[in-house]
Amino acid sequence: MTLKSSPAADQPPDGCCSDGGNLLSVDDAIERAIALAGPVEGFETLALGSARGRAIMDTITARLPLPNFDNSAMDGYALNTKSLKGSGPYRLAVTGRMAAGDADTHSGDKTPSGALRIFTGALVPANYDAVIMQEKVTLKDDC
């Protein structure tokens, strides 16, 4: 990039805040926004596809859970807590990986003794009953 001339120290470059100091005050901006808003006058029931630009008057409840499977709310490590013995700390081998959208290839693990690297939104396989957030885990090269 080449700068053809340097702007005066007390002037912003052209196009940047070049309104000549005519910005709205916060109070004026709030007043204008309120003037543009109006009260809700009545209601009607519409199909969702016809409701664009409308306000919701009532609670909308999904008929089915979405997603329809147990999924991880964080990046971390899924494990089976029943396989943990004693009071810890625990050292587990990382035996697989699950990302959002991956096919479930681990639910057949009857009694998993290792941990799966798991990412936000990924399906938590059957027989894995906990996800430990990655910030609470220390990785070792030999696991």
Measured from the Cβ of residue 122, the count of other Cβ atoms closer than 10 Å reads 23
pLDDT band at 136 (very low <50, low <70, confident <90, very high): very high
129's tokens: 């009953």
CA distances in angstroms from 20 to 27, 32, 48, 57, listed in the order given: 19, 21, 46, 43
CA dist., res. 51 & res. 40, Å (int): 14
Residue pLDDT, tens place only, 1-50: 333 444 555 555 555 555 666 788 899 999 999 999 888 888 888 898 99
Q: For position 53, what pLDDT does the model report?
A: 83
Measured from the Cβ of residue 36, the count of other Cβ atoms closer than 10 Å reads 6
Q: Distance between the two ends of the chain, CA-based, in angstroms?
A: 49
Say which residue the tokens 């587990």 belong to.
Answer: 92
Of the CA atoms within 13 Å of residue 120, those in its CB half-sphere come to 4
Residue pLDDT, tens place only, 85-135: 888 899 999 999 999 999 988 888 777 889 999 999 999 999 999 999 999
pLDDT band at 56 (very low <50, low <70, confident <90, very high): confident
Residue pLDDT, tens place only, 58-88: 888 888 888 899 999 999 999 999 989 888 8
Q: For position 13, what pLDDT does the model report?
A: 55
What is the b/e burial string over 88-116, where b = at least 16 CB atoms within 10 angstroms of the residue's CB? eeeebeeebebeeeeeeebeebeebebbb
Q: For position 33, what pLDDT does the model report?
A: 92
CA distances in angstroms from 119 to 14, 73, 80, listed in the order given: 46, 8, 17
pLDDT band at 140 (very low <50, low <70, confident <90, very high): confident
